[in-house]
Structure 1
Amino acid sequence: MSAHGNTYVPKSGIAKWFESRLPLVGLVHSSFVAFPVPRNLNYFWTFGAILIAFLGIQIITGVWLAMHYQPSATEAFDSVEHIMRDVNYGWLLRYAHANGASMFFVAVYVHIFRNLYYGSYKAPREVLYILGVVIYLLMMATAFLGYTLPWGQMSFWGATVITNILAAIPVVGDTIQSLLWGGYSVGNPTVNRFFSLHFLLPWMIAGVVVLHVWALHVTGQNNPAGIPIKSSKDAVPFTPYATVKDVFATVVFMILFAWFIFYQPNYLGHADNYIPANPAVTPAHIVPEWYFLPFYAILRAVPSKLGGVILMFSAVIILALAPWLDTSRVRSSNYRPIYRQFFWVFVGVCFLLGWLGAKPPEGGYVIAAQICTAYYFAHFLIVMPLCGLFETPTKLPGSILESVTGPGKQVSGAGMPAGAAAAPTTKG
């Protein structure tokens, strides 16, 4: 998994025998112990570890819940109530799984914004970044499928709305809709299909995460200065320096997670989902989970059904094009004074789109959503290319060490062994 030299030396005879046949311990050591990381990483770089932790939580709780869930339109709702009331600690498993999805998306949105701010998508990290976008798409699909499984009112009507939207796709739309429905409308076969896909996709996410981590260890990590590792003084070993920071940040994030589970377990959900699905009664206002609201606002900003679908999917796909749309040679927005201002406007627009997605599609809300949608795409198609051509960046530090200590100062304490940081220097 790592492109860097393996410094692990087995000491016992059994360890030497095993390492000569399957160098697994050496792989882990080179990737997660001796791997050189820039010494100027801040806490925004801990969200990758937080995401891996929550992926594990979602898979473990999901497998356990699947043992008691009944994927049937007539039994799904009651089986969820059975889990909550009769299964030992079933309430904890369900609340952990439901709120874990929200925490997962909180962490991934911070991770995405960090990538966009510090230019972590630029060469040679394009494949690493695109794999991250693929993970995000798989997460969205998994979360949508999971939201439908309780088969309450919001689950049923959310499934109905989204599958009807997919039918607007030319040529293949009706086929996709029929495959998901398993019939002529949302019903029992739909629950079975959604449950199967919801169980499968997390394992696909785990596989792409392995590729994502592999690509990260090939190219090396970006850093707040956006400059490559040039000497051993610019880097420190992953363990204990980055490991301790990752563990601390994960524990802090888990405290927030625990607060939602034990004190506000339904705060991020919708009350209508505690009402059994009823095809004859349409909720007054159908809204998806909060992490889909910006894209839901984009979908409704366009009068055309097909146009809304195209823009909604384009809003995600355009993220993958950022490495080629950004023409600046400077990675970090810390040294890009004009682009930095546009970036924070972009963040504000994303939050505003999320707020608008929860509002009725009428009057000023639609106009505001149209304006925000226009800016969302303008950020990638206009701001990124033009800022790179006309912006004058501020002076970059000469090295990562200089960005930490200031010009002309020396560092005390641990650094990488001589030559350990050589690989990232040529690729950063």
Structure 2
Amino acid sequence: MILVAVMMPFGMLAIVGLPKLGGLSLLAVNVASAAAVGAGILLLLGRLMRGDPIRLEPSAIAILIFAAYTIFSATVLVRLFSGEIMVFSLSRSAGGVRVSTAFLWGKVWLSPGSSNISQTFYIVLASGLFIVAVNQLSRRGAAFGDQCMAWAAGVNLGLGVLDMAALDPVLALIRTASYSLMNEATVAGIPRVIGGFSESASFGAFSAVLFAYFATLALRTGRRRDAVLALGNGVFACLALSATGLLAVAVVTCILMLQVQVRVPEQTSRGMLLGFAVVLAAGGLGLAAALTMTDAPAMVASVINDLIINKSQSSSGLERSAWMMGGLEALQQSMGLGVGAGSLRSNGLLFVLLGSVGIPGTAAFCAFLILAFGGRAIAGQEDTLAATRLGAVAALVSLMLSATVPDPGVPLIFLAALAVATRRNPATVDAAPMPRMPHLQTRSLVQ
């Protein structure tokens, strides 16, 4: 699991490229996840051979239903509605009929393609990773999952520093995926930081997830490690200059402020409050100096206009709005069933799910989220569960804003597995009696 966590920030490190399968690039995190799933399957088979009990969480059943419907949609539904519905294709080279003069992306007739295979693979892999991660984190304890998240946050900070220092020759070693590299993009003349990813939106979203997770722990436990990781990843989420990351940080910050008002008086020492006040005052003074002595106000206003206020009127905003409506049209024309995972490009996780896997698949995914992040943690794990929940909020906000495919992503899946692990006591995971295998029982009866 540590290897999976460490590979999360390497969003452009491809191990295997399969262009004939929908441009499928097996990133390092995908390969690490596949290795973890393979090892987990072998362990589960070994336990079955020994007659050990196997426990399947309700959330695991929900995500398996989601994966099963994904397979059904990508193999049956896409052929059922082929040639009857027009969609925005995932392939940039698909061409199609233009629906607006503001952007080039056009609609094509629905047909089976290699992208159905690639997107189904990612979702099935995510489902397997969740089941294996729940098993491993439950056995080793939620504290082990927290260590994995710390490794991911530390590596993400390191990659962010390298990118901010413009050490592209070094980063070129880990930028091997066949994605468009946006390392020279700027907003109002300010360069965007992308870390180990191909563009700023992914880096900003992932940094926002880490910020949410460790900021929650820092406020609830007062640990310096959590505060440092939260501050560093929060800064990089902002330096990515992505509307996705910035809005995720804004939502998380609002929730944290509400939590501070409720929890700080009873759980935070006076020394920590004093230190927080000093840091806040120093930051306020520094911000005031920057605003009065430099051109920062005009620069900040320009960034806000480009990323948020005028975003919906830009060609990118109009394009994504059309993708979003395309997902709803696919849902309507498929009678609520969806046209298949990987069959269309939409915008926002909700619209992507509805257009791709319809109401049944969307309901299964929502059930998975509720079952994974709901419930109460065991004694001593309440802080970790709260951190996973806020991290999931950051991930979902980012996905709702910019997701174009139904793949939930490894960070959200890992947080869901960690949330489940906080509700299980490692000492009692194997406490159930171990039934014998049927053939062993028969042998004993004969004797």
Q: Is the pair's TM-score, using the shorter chain for normalization, greater than 0.5?
A: no
The two structures have a TM-score, normalised by structure 1, of 0.27
**How does the TM-score come out when normalised to structure 2?**
0.26
